A and B are shown apart, each in its own frame.
Chain A
Amino acid sequence: MQNWIDYLYESLLFRNFMEVLGGLDNTLLLLVISLPIGFVLSLLFALGRVSKNKFISKIIAGYIFVIRGTPLLVQIYLIYFGLGSIKFIRESFLWYLLEEPFWCGVLALTINTVAYGSEIFRGGIQSITKGQIESGLSLGFNKLTLLRKIILPIALRKVLPSYGNELILMVKATSLVSLTTYMEMTGIARKIMAKTFAPVEAFIAAGILYLFLNFLMVQFVKYLEWKYNPHLRLTES
């Protein structure tokens, strides 16, 4: 038994695993900042997309079209390499943020998730039947109350599974930020590979961690679904 544990402890995979684990906080930091901002902005953009104001709706539609039609990698590179080459950005206060690969990553991830998220929320908002809104109006709700008490609760519940999917895609998308020299889990795995010339062990160690992270995310979404859809719960016996 002791022998076996020693063997595990000495193995390359385990040592890689511990080293990649050191990048977990950097990966999480990207998510912790970009996901909440992305969530709020997605909601606002979805409301703008369904609003009666044609101008706002068209602009948001164009934004969604462009972001969903291009790879995230292009967006990350455009922000990291592209924005830095514009002179007035380099001279403005924005440069303090954009010179860091971390903030470029956060910006790109947020821009990306808002485009996908707002389409998901739009679907949820548009799936609300007219009768529900009319009944709210007949109770004398103003627009804000209607939004807060009827539209959002119903829409958010409906889109939870598909938004959960988007959250998992975001966890996976953080790996692309490693290409801007930001050292999160994939970046560290690449560094290990360059050091040890053992690619399989390095990337499997990182893969296990990503799988675990996504597993947690799935459980979190399942919990939310359970909590906010009490009418769909199976009766406990």
Chain B
Amino acid sequence: MFKFEKLVFGDLGWGDEFLFATLMTITVSILSMGLGLCLAIITVWAKLITSSLARFIANLYTTVVRGVPELLVIYLIFFGGNSVVMGIAKLFGYDGYIELNALTIGTIAIAFISATYSSEVIRAAYLSVNKGQVEAAKALGLNKFNIFLKVMGPQIIRHALPGIGNVWQITLKDTSLISVTGLVEIMRQSRIASNVEHSPLTFLITAAFLYLFLTTFSGKFFKILELNYSKGYN
């Protein structure tokens, strides 16, 4: 059953391995969330400008990526990404073999998935800012950059934060899927450990506990952030 003695730190247990695995999960989550937010902002921009081609591409991207399973997206990028990168390198005259490491590929894959969710959140937040406020800012003589920085930006963040918190939780849980690429994060580590020790229950429950810990505490963090950004409202 549950073997606590296998979870000690040092050579006898898997404690330190799990600590590094947790750090890896956090790293991948933060990197892909950040990359995903950048992608999401580009997507939202493409959806709101007048160019119908840009809008079409952005809509196609969000519809397709949200319509297929995350695992499939990860497989596609993990197994197909290398050939794409090598193709691009060939255009620049490099003919050798390139292999991206699992961290890069995993981060890109999760970012692709997370960006589709974030883009919906950011778009809704952008649209919920009252138009009169932009007009008021214009009347005050603010230029475009300052309108965005001082009027739109803070309000978009305030409206988007609860949704972004949800996307963060989804992203954090999705990182468990990139264990299929061989990257040693919590999920992969627990599979390795349970194969070595023949005690899947111990390590899988540990993994579940670690994920629960991460989601709970990051949820608390987002609550504090939300409070901070809605100071003027309550």
Q: What mask results when residues 162 to 196 of chain A are scored 1 for a CB within 8 Å of chain B, else 0?
A: 00000010011111101100000010011001000
- List the B residue with the shortest CB-CB distance to A197: B79
**A74 near B187: Cβ-Cβ < 8 Å:** yes
- B215 contacts A172, CB within 8 Å? no
B39 to chain A, nearest CB (A): 19
A83 nearest CB across to chain B (Å): 8
Q: Which of B40-48, B130-138, B142-150, B172-180 contacts A (4 or more CB under 8 A)?
A: B172-180
Contacts of B1 in A (CB 8 A): 86
Q: List residues of chain A with CB within 8 A of the CB of B64.
A: 207, 211
Task: Please report the number of residue pairs spanning A and B whose Cβ atoms sit closer than 8 angstroms.
Answer: 113
A interface bracket (residues with beta carbon within 8 Å of B): 35 or more
B211 contacts partner chain A, Cβ-Cβ < 8 Å: yes
Q: Which residue of chain B is the closest to A190 with respect to CB atoms?
A: B75
**CB pair B207 A175 closer than 8 Å:** no
Asked if residues A69 and B216 are in contact (CB atoms below 8 Å), the reply is: yes
Inter-subunit contact B204/A71 (CB<8 Å)? no
Majority secondary structure of chain A interface residues (helix, strand, loop or mixed)? helix
Q: Which of A68, A84, A175 contacts B69 (CB 8 A)?
A: A175
- How does the 8 Å CB contact mask read for A78-90 relative to B, with 1 for contact and 0 for none? 1001101110000
B contact residues, total (Cβ < 8 Å): 35
Q: Does B181 contact A (CB under 8 A)?
A: no
Answer yes or no: A97 CB below 8 A from chain B CBs: no
Query: Knowing that A70-B211, A74-B211, A85-B199 are A-B contacts, what are 17 other residue pairs whose CB atoms are under 8 Å apart, sorted by A's residue number?
Result: A69-B211, A71-B174, A77-B190, A78-B205, A78-B208, A82-B204, A85-B201, A173-B69, A175-B72, A179-B180, A190-B75, A199-B76, A199-B80, A200-B83, A203-B79, A210-B68, A211-B68
Q: Chain A: residues with CB nearer than 8 A to chain B?
A: 65-66, 68-75, 77-78, 81-82, 84-86, 168, 171-176, 178-179, 186, 189-190, 193, 199-200, 203-204, 206-207, 210-211, 214-215
Q: Which residues of B contact A (CB under 8 A)?
A: 1, 64, 67-72, 75-76, 79-80, 83, 173-174, 176-177, 179-180, 187, 190-191, 194, 198-201, 204-205, 207-208, 211-212, 215-216
